Amino acid sequence: MASVGIEVVVTGDKEVEALIQSLIDHAGDITPAYVAVAESMRAYEGELFDSEGAISGEPWAPDSDETIRTKQQKGYPDEIEKATEELFHSLVDQANDLHIEEITPEYLRFGTSSEHAGYQQKGTSKAPVRKIIDFREQDVVGFTAIISHYIRHGVIQQSLVQP
Instruction: Output the pLDDT for position 107.
Output: 85
Instruction: Output the pLDDT for position 5.
Output: 45
Tell me what the pLDDT averaged over the chain comes to.
84
* Beta carbons of 93 and 38 less than 8 angstroms apart: no
Name the residue ranges covered by the structural domains of the chain: 31-160
Chain center to CA of 68: 29
pLDDT band (50, 70, 90) for residue 26: low
Q: Phi and psi for 148 in degrees, rounded to 5?
A: -60, -45
Q: What DSSP character marks residue 133?
A: S
Question: What DSSP element (H or E) covers 110?
Answer: strand 108-112
Instruction: List, for residues 76-133, the tens digit of each pLDDT value.
Output: 999 999 999 999 999 999 999 999 999 988 888 999 999 989 989 999 988 899 999 9
The percentage of residues in the chain with a pLDDT greater than 90, rounded to a whole number, is 53
Burial class of residue 148 in the structure, from the number of CB atoms within 10 Å of its CB (0-12 exposed, 13-18 middle, 19+ buried): middle
Tell me the whole-structure pTM to 2 decimals: 0.80
Query: Residues 6 or more apart from 156 whose CB is under 8 A from it?
Result: 32, 33, 36, 146, 149, 150
d(C-alpha 36, C-alpha 103), whole Å: 11
The alpha carbons of the chain give a radius of gyration, in whole angstroms, of 22
